[in-house]
Structure 1
């Protein structure tokens, strides 16, 4: 069965902060995934699914698995055939969503609406990297390591703190696009709906540039040291923000290194620490950060479109692209490393 074509991430208007967070997660999956918050109609699912093209290589794509709404516990963890176990002397395991997502991405839409039993299972597996099923004294265990991507509308309910902290990065889409950006969003959506294949071909060049940049950054990542200076910057700011636990420090450090790799740098600079600060702290801080801390994290709103001149942060645009929001100096999305 042929997979349906997905809207290219490079063709999404605005939402630069979220696109950056997804790229960083593709560069270093150990960051721990992304929680995307925002009201209805902000293309959260479209953006999340765009991560699939950035993972792995063109020859080998990791799985991108969606946890269906209303999924049962058995659908999540898998099931054991006891009749087969009695007849053959061994358990016959039917894989669930966790097994299918191993080595790739597990995507959960409306993650804040998951029932508590499924949340508990997700927490256990995300922490251990192993899924264990036991039924009537028969058990089965398999690896289940994946990047967790979740979307939610905060107006529909909060997320349990334990699961909230499990997401490495948190991005909020909370802005209203300006009229020019809204027009461009609608034009591209209509063009994709009218002929998805032609639209994807049109954006294939920009999408390839993005995927190649992520792949080059992955290759560069291990050469960048998690150095003491970067750690000092981060731990001081986590302390100032009143962050409980140490997960934020580790996630922030990994994200800063991934950002340095994304820029093509060989070491973590303070600009890398600043660029990902809000992603790591937004869902963890208990106090407002000190006033002297500049807000350098990119805007996650979908309000900004591409900069003037038709050259957006996401590569060369088609001739009909509409100009919009301001250009950020770092990172320069339009160039390869």
Structure 2
């Protein structure tokens, strides 16, 4: 199997890479929505990040990647309780997928051949403790969107049909990508993404040439290219692990909480999810940069990622959401 393109070798797209690194530091951020042109490295980035992360410890026979034998669901009837290391899972959720394929369903073959009622886990089981990636997320069917909203809220996948009553953990980092010209995302699902970024094709000859050069080198001699970027990826992996360890000890001054609230009010963001995500993202950034407390600089850096997709539409303002957030930051957090 071909190794994923190294995360450190992706040219430009700094906001996209920052958002993905922050979700790796704090998976509770709620995932990343990446909207923009085709061929801008969206799917490459998520697979590269998952490959960059350290493997997870799982029970060998558990279909939901449980960390301990005690956490394995009873319906799985796990017999192999040995602990092994697996790469962080990245599961694709294709357009047109059926609900049974997502949540899991009765194992028809086993029921017919053995007369046994058995549960066949779906994509949500495989994605537990990893990443669920949806390309063209704005074209996803409504009933699948509703299903994902329920699971994203609870972290539990529940299947009640065909005589089955199944529950299992389904906690994952949701990464969606799409082209806004092909359709809008339902507001309910849009709000579930913690961070959002807009990506564009490189607009300088130098950047485009460098993209071509690196991709060509990767395809011509993958092993040599991976070796060349191994040290950079290892350095970033160390930064992520150190930030995870430091995260609980990052101090949050009261004035930062006031700044989060003021910024959200000034932007007209609905609900409180924006403030909470902004705070968590700023804390993850502080941990990544080796800081001891959240500062206004951290808020300024992550506010466009955490708030731009939560703005109410203003037909009189032609500026994009990122530009509107930047303008309000300058006015609210001088």
RMSD over aligned Cα atoms = 2.3
The residue correspondences of 1:143-158 to structure 2 (distance < 5 A) are 143-158=169-184
Give per-residue Cα distances to partners, 1:43-90, cap 9 Å, x unaligned: 211112222034345865332211133322111111123786799997
- Native 8 Å contact 2:35 2:199 kept in 1: yes
- Native 8 Å contact 1:53 1:211 kept in 2: no
Structure 1: which 5+ residue stretches go unaligned? 296-337
**Are positions 1:19 and 2:17 aligned together?**
yes
| 1:107 aligned residue (133, 157, 168) | 133
SS state at 2:251 partner = coil
Structure 2: which 5+ residue stretches go unaligned? 57-84, 315-323
Which residue number corresponds to residue 252 of structure 1? 278
- Where relative contact order (Cα < 8 A, 6+ residues apart) is larger, the structure is 1
- Native 8 Å contact 1:240 1:290 kept in 2: no
From the two aligned structures, give the one with the greater helix fraction.
Answer: 2
The residue correspondences of 1:194-213 to structure 2 (distance < 5 A) are 194-213=220-239
Give per-residue Cα distances to partners, 1:191-211, cap 9 Å, x unaligned: 111122221111111111111
**Are positions 1:294 and 2:330 aligned together?**
yes
The residue correspondences of 1:41-190 to structure 2 (distance < 5 A) are 41-57=39-55, 61-81=87-107, 91-174=117-200, 176-190=202-216
> Following TM superposition, by how much is the alpha carbon of 1:234 offset from its aligned partner in structure 2, in angstroms?
0.7
TM-score, normalising length: structure 2:
0.82
> Following TM superposition, by how much is the alpha carbon of 1:294 offset from its aligned partner in structure 2, in angstroms?
3.0
**CA–CA distance in structure 2, aligned partners of residues 246 and 237 of structure 1:** 12
Give per-residue Cα distances to partners, 1:285-337, cap 9 Å, x unaligned: 22645846239xxxxxxxxxxxxxxxxxxxxxxxxxxxxxxxxxxxxxxxxxx
- Native 8 Å contact 2:304 2:325 kept in 1: no
| 1:221 aligned residue (222, 244, 247) | 247
TM-score, normalising length: structure 1:
0.81
Question: Residue 166 and residue 29 in structure 1: after superposition, are their counterparts in 2 closer, same or farther (change >3 A)?
Answer: same
Give per-residue Cα distances to partners, 1:139-168, cap 9 Å, x unaligned: 111111111011111111111111111000
- Native 8 Å contact 1:133 1:140 kept in 2: yes
Which residue number corresponds to residue 316 of structure 1? none
SS state at 2:244 partner = helix
How many residue pairs match? The answer is 293
